[in-house]
Structure 1
Amino acid sequence: MPTQDDVLNVLKEVEDPEIGVNVVDLGLVYTVDVQGDGGVNVEMTLTAPGCPMHDTIARAAEMAIETLPDVKEAHVKMVWNPPWTPDRLTDEGRRLLGF
């Protein structure tokens, strides 16, 4: 079974198309729950609640997770609480955005 780190690593391939930085370094991923039955559940957010790309980004994240060995199904749930802030950026995210 993949680990949480494995899931986060493949999620680094999923970019917010408006910002051009991956969802992990933007700090958009809140929880990763790897199930013993091959399921992976992720809770994540976006930088703005009204973002029209939320379905596209969620599906891209699910597809990336499902490339991992032993993952049968991934579910990404968008949550809006707590709201995203720039404080959630990783050091790499700050570097990529020029902060």
Structure 2
Amino acid sequence: MDLEKMRDTKNLNELERVIVDRLSNVIDPELGVDLINLGLIYRADLTDEGILKILLTLTTPMCPMADVIIDELNETFVEVPQVEEVEVTITFDPPWSLDKLSRYAKIALGVM
């Protein structure tokens, strides 16, 4: 599922809701806002083999918190029985921009 679908949760099945809920609880340690509202998660797809493939970006290519965020993503899914493994891929295509922030994130960060 892509970021748009993760933000509009009314059409998600139960497992997708669990995944979005867990992703929503992973907070960027520098900005204090979750990864979905920051627009950092581009995709999250669970394979039939139980591999949760997460495609994300960072606010900058030299983000010092990348390892912390990846560790947190791995830890947040340990208790989800359908998820056997988390595979995180970082991309900068397209690069992150303020346009990716949700309304909530814009307010929280004082961007509006």
Equivalent position amino acid for 1:87 in 2 = D
Distance 2:103 2:40 in 1: 14
Structure 1 residue 16 corresponds to structure 2 residue 28: yes
What pairs up with 1:57-76 in 2 under 5 angstroms?
A: 57-76=69-88
What pairs up with 1:27-66 in 2 under 5 angstroms?
A: 27-66=39-78
TM-score by length of 2: 0.79
Q: Secondary structure at the match of 1:25?
A: helix
Equivalent position amino acid for 1:74 in 2 = V
Q: Report Cα offsets for 1:26-57 as digits up to 9, x if no partner.
A: 00000111111211100001111101111110
Q: Which has the higher contact order (CA 8 A, sep 6+)?
A: 1
RMSD across aligned positions (CA) = 1.5
The CA deviation at 1:12 is: 1.2
Distance 2:29 2:58 in 1: 11
User: Percent identity over the alignment?
Assistant: 34
Decide which structure has greater helix share: 2
The CA deviation at 1:59 is: 1.5
Q: Provide the aligned length of Structure 1 versus Structure 2.
A: 98
Partner of 2:15: 2
Decide which structure has greater strand share: 1
Distance 2:78 2:88 in 1: 11
